[in-house]
A and B are shown apart, each in its own frame.
Chain A
């Protein structure tokens, strides 16, 4: 067994969040040890995608401060697209295209409802004002709940479902259904309090900078991974791959370091965990470190999840009445009730007959082979643990999704080279999105009951997302306390 060693901070998990945390720590002059269980750095960015190459199309909501502070653009991170218009599809080609241009959007909505077209600019203004009011709470370590009328309004919206909130604004079913897709992230229902707030969170991402709420890294996810690894290397971080953590070592209620499965011990007064909060509490901490409720809390999970599908196509897909260029996020959902009905089926463990679907495609954003195009599809909600299991259900899901897209993109099924389904992880233990989590301060989400132990992964975001923001805030919070 090797001699115990010591450093200033240990980061568990060298995925994007761990790399961001390590970079910030290194830049602050700390001696950092970054431990990764796999044989490559980068986590999801480095994982070879089942469709070949690196993950072809990943959606990020990168924190603008992270992009700026870590100089990611100079490190080769470029975006294939900074904005993907949200498009609600209709079979007759009268799609609703929601872009940054208010007038174009209103004109598109006017095909369905004159009243909604008039309302849209007001809705968008209010949505963005509310999102701006929430930014300090979500993005700053010591941000506070907004006061005044906005605070009261946010309190009311936090207790509303997206369906009710959008109903109070619009009459067009297609418009509401298109907007609803973002509200059901993290296993929420459109009828559930918190889902309306998800829309505000999404809007807050959109006003966060040029990269917006949805962006595609040029060259796929590997480009982001490489930029972050480069940043951490330059900050002087030490990396260790194929190193699994056995235990986080405690002294009383203070963190003292980690012990690896190979028997190595490393002492550090700060430990940042980029792995799931449930895994951190349940598997890495000693069993008696936390109360039963405290350790169980992150495990509460939604019975519904989302499933990803990647189609590799021979040619660029086209949508009836509207070419796919410029790139769009297309939503297939008729009305808000579609989500509610699908939710009921998914909760019962069945694949919904009518499944809300999002699909995205963009040239240059994926490492598809020459002459091939990649389409990324997201279906939600689907059952997390379906009756009969996912291996049996995955082909049914793929067939249903392709059939659904075929309605808007005739002939696409004949163009498919490969279909890869990414089933919801049955062991996924990250918190389901909840109102208390969304309303917690940023510092409240990254801190743990163990002094010196911080969360820095996607689960420490108001809505789980790969932004690097939680890592930035965790480091700021830790350094403020530690200094």
Chain B
């Protein structure tokens, strides 16, 4: 049997399978995950009104260690990690030599010579080459650990009820010994929630404890569809879902600006890989990432967007937002027409209900569509 099976289950699979009543599954980053546990819209709504738990073990996590680890990551990533204190994290990109986005990650400093890079997509060869050049060592923790995200206004309350109450501010994390388990509680997500990480063998215990503690708050598991809805509501483009990260080392597209990710670049940090190419291309991008509200309930992913009959871009992931009660989408359109309020049109997709194609109005909006709900 291969050590890298094509289909991999996360350490929470046994619990996910028991809860996945309709047996709906999907794959992300090589892992099998519940697409939804019955009703994706209800799960997404719960993420805004109560609390949900989502399996995020599929995210690629690699430790970069050694005396030269900080130098290596600072060269690799678009922000300088040298000033990062242990227990703190930052979000940054890594770029190809040509300036294209190869990936986006959270970089967390565990010790002076130990960093964790957590990303929604794997780029093992590239990171390994950077580490090799600097003499840093790599340790892939993706299969050794599992993680759950707690999202919703009652996420903190669930943590406290579970005895994991920790005063953690966004972009920080803490390692906690929790009733016999070593866990790491982080706040790396965009939803103002928490992530709890533990060894793969302890994952079922973690799931059970959180579900028991969260029962009084109406906790429910959420599948990938629900977390995608929450992502789009916040306006976060994801690799392999909304864009194809550069795989060629000299690629120039997609640029950080065209994906709305320039905030993840520290211009003062001039030493990162691809800096010169990024600087040279800066401002010359023709397209930009925008939020689009669609005058319809039907999402329209990867559909051309028109202005006065001329195609000026296309949608990326589109979802029905249960809180806005309409379809929304991330979109890449010509920069000239990216001002909020610009009215566009798109062709509604064919569906089983409607066999005819018709034009639907869409409006450029501002990010985020929805702000994460604060606890009452």
Contact = CB atoms under 8 A, between A and B. Distances in A.
Interface of A: 282, 287-288, 291-297
Contacts of B134: 287
A293 B249 contact: yes
23 contacts: A287-B75, A287-B133, A287-B134, A288-B75, A288-B271, A291-B96, A291-B97, A291-B249, A292-B76, A292-B97, A292-B126, A292-B129, A292-B130, A292-B249, A292-B273, A293-B248, A293-B249, A294-B97, A294-B249, A294-B250, A295-B129, A296-B129, A296-B249
A291 B96 CA distance: 8
Contacts, number: 34
Interface in B233-287: 248-250, 271, 273-274
B64 to A, nearest CB: 14
Nearest to A281: B133
A252 to B, nearest CB: 12
Closest 7 CB pairs of A and B: A293-B249, A291-B97, A293-B97, A287-B133, A296-B129, A288-B75, A292-B273
Contacts of A296: 129, 249
Nearest to B68: A287
B162 to A, nearest CB: 42
A365 B98 CA distance: 50
Which of B75, B126, B249, B274 has the largest count of A CB atoms less than 10 A from its CB?
B249
Contacts of A287: 71, 75, 133-134
A295 B249 CA distance: 10
Which of A291, A295, A296 has the largest count of B CB atoms less than 10 A from its CB?
A291
A293 B248 CA distance: 8
A294 B274 CA distance: 11
A291 B251 CA distance: 12
A188 B339 CA distance: 53
Nearest to B126: A292
Given A293-B97, A295-B129, 16 more contacts: A282-B133, A288-B75, A288-B271, A291-B96, A291-B97, A291-B273, A292-B76, A292-B97, A292-B126, A292-B129, A292-B130, A292-B273, A293-B98, A293-B249, A294-B249, A294-B250
B254 to A, nearest CB: 16
A288 B80 CA distance: 14
A426 B75 CA distance: 29
Contacts of A291: 96-97, 249, 273-274
Contacts of B75: 287-288
Interface residues of B, number: 17
B96 A293 contact: yes
Nearest to A285: B133
A293 to B, nearest CB: 2
Contact of A295 (B76, B133, B250, B274): B133
A253 to B, nearest CB: 10
Which of A292, A293, A296 has the largest count of B CB atoms less than 10 A from its CB?
A292
Nearest to A299: B129
A292 B71 CA distance: 14
A292 B130 CA distance: 6
Interface string B131-172: 001100000000000000000000000000000000000000
A61 B248 CA distance: 34
A7 B133 CA distance: 29
A296 B249 CA distance: 9
Nearest to A293: B249
Contacts of B98: 293
B271 A293 contact: no
Contacts of A295: 129, 133
Given A287-B75, A288-B75, A288-B271, A293 B250 contact: yes
Contacts of A292: 76, 97, 126, 129-130, 133, 249, 273
A297 B133 contact: no
B249 to A, nearest CB: 2
Interface string B61-81: 000000000010001100000
Nearest to B130: A292
Nearest to A282: B133
A296 B127 CA distance: 12
A297 B249 contact: yes
Contacts of A293: 96-98, 248-250
A292 B132 CA distance: 10
Contacts of B129: 292, 295-296
Which of B98, B248, B273 has the largest count of A CB atoms less than 10 A from its CB?
B273
Contacts of A297: 249
A297 B125 CA distance: 13
Contacts of A282: 133
Contacts of B97: 291-294
B205 to A, nearest CB: 40
Contacts of B133: 282, 287, 292, 295
Contacts of B248: 293
Contacts of B130: 292
A296 B248 CA distance: 11
Contacts of B71: 287
A282 B75 CA distance: 15
A230 B6 CA distance: 61
Contacts of B76: 292
A434 to B, nearest CB: 14
Interface string B81-94: 00000000000000
